[in-house]
Amino acid sequence: MRLRVRSHDHSAYISYLLMLIGNCLVSLSCSTRHLVQLENQNNMVQHSFQTHQVKTSDGQTVCFDHYARGHTNVIIIAHGFFNSRKSVLLKALGESLLDSYDVIIMDFRGHGDSPGLFYWTTKEYLDLEAVLKWSASRYSQIGVIGFSLGAATSIITAAKTNLITSLVSVSGPTTFERIDYRFWELDIENDIFFNLGEKGRTGKGVRLGPFWLKKERPIDLVSELTVPIFFIHGESDWLIKPNHSRELYDHTNPNIKKRLTMIKNGPHAEYLMRESKNKKEFVALIREWFAQTLGEKNVKEEKK
């Protein structure tokens, strides 16, 4: 039998493989108790967390860090391609929310300490679903922040389950096949210089699985969502251009609360946490959104 691979899938796959250039694979180990040092206004603050593992419905082990502070609601942070829960930027985002929410940062299969292979959004919704089920037995409301392919997975999961209360999609693609990868617009500062440094390469790595399996398209599923969703995109995102979030917003169920914000000069995904100006705006937007949507029902639309 001859395997046929769609050219669009192949191009997107090659695009993500090229992202590995300039990044360093690091060895990751999973333990049950850690202390994390996060920068906060030039001071180093320690935040303890507990590491847990859950099993997915297809037998995959998923590893995640649980920052418990006694809040009734929790925020789950879902990373993108070649990243993990040990990302300095994702930890900084989690730290910025701890005064109001407990936080979970997870590893998708094939990333960090979650074993197996990465299936390019084909199976990853099962990973998020398993973490959501664990959280649902402990919390009243669950918010999810998904980055890049993690945003795509979050949308797929929200369409398939009723476990998410409110969703933030950061730099999410309409479809895997339409990822832009305009390499001539490469963000040298973030994608090369930052990732070659110790902070940038911490938590990076991936174990690649088959890319030719059928993928569900976020653009086809957003009309089925029944929970509030906030699309955030950097205007200078070279990998997944801002039109992806615009199209997702336009196709989203008009009967739910939805919002779209483009961050001026903003880069791709978690790099919005790097620049001081972008970081301040980005965190403020997320805090405002969850303050409005966790525990509330609203059909108002917002677009910036």
**Contact 255/299 with Cβ under 8 angstroms?**
yes
- For the chain, the C-alpha Rg in angstroms (whole number) is 18
pLDDT at 34: 40
Element (H, E) at 48: strand 43-55
What tokens appear for 238 in the block?
A: 């070279």
Cα 48 to Cα 153: distance, rounded to the nearest angstrom: 28
Cα 143 to Cα 132: distance, rounded to the nearest angstrom: 10
Phi, psi of 285 (to 5 degrees): -65, -45
What tokens appear for 126 in the block?
A: 């099962």
Average pLDDT, the chain: 85
pLDDT at 28: 33
**Contact 112/84 with Cβ under 8 angstroms?**
yes
Phi, psi of 44 (to 5 degrees): -95, 115
296 compared with 131, residue with greater pLDDT: 131
Fill in the DSSP letter of residue 138. Answer: T
Domains assigned to the chain: 47-303 (3.40.50.1820)
Say whether pLDDT at 219 is over 60.
Answer: yes
Residue-wise pLDDT tens digits, 258-279 = 999 999 999 999 999 997 779 9
Residue-wise pLDDT tens digits, 224-251 = 999 999 999 999 999 999 999 999 999 9
Other CB atoms within 10 Å distance of the CB of residue 214: 8
Contacts of residue 134, defined as CB under 8 A and 6 or more positions apart, other chains included, come to: 52, 54
Say whether pLDDT at 282 is over 60.
Answer: yes
Residue-wise pLDDT tens digits, 99-110 = 999 999 999 999
Stretch 208-229: mean pLDDT: 97
Cα 206 to Cα 32: distance, rounded to the nearest angstrom: 22
Please classify residue 299 by burial: count the beta carbons closer than 10 Å to its beta carbon, then call 0-12 exposed, 13-18 middle and 19+ buried. Answer: exposed
**Contact 95/123 with Cβ under 8 angstroms?**
no
Cα 49 to Cα 63: distance, rounded to the nearest angstrom: 13
DSSP, collapsed to helix, strand or coil, labels residue 41 as coil
DSSP, collapsed to helix, strand or coil, labels residue 168 as strand
Contacts of residue 288, defined as CB under 8 A and 6 or more positions apart, other chains included, come to: none
Cα 91 to Cα 78: distance, rounded to the nearest angstrom: 11
Element (H, E) at 36: strand 33-40
Stretch 46-63: mean pLDDT: 94
The candidate with the shortest Cα–Cα distance to 269, out of 90, 51, 48, 2, is 90
The reported pTM is: 0.86
Say whether pLDDT at 27 is over 70.
Answer: no
**Contact 217/152 with Cβ under 8 angstroms?**
no
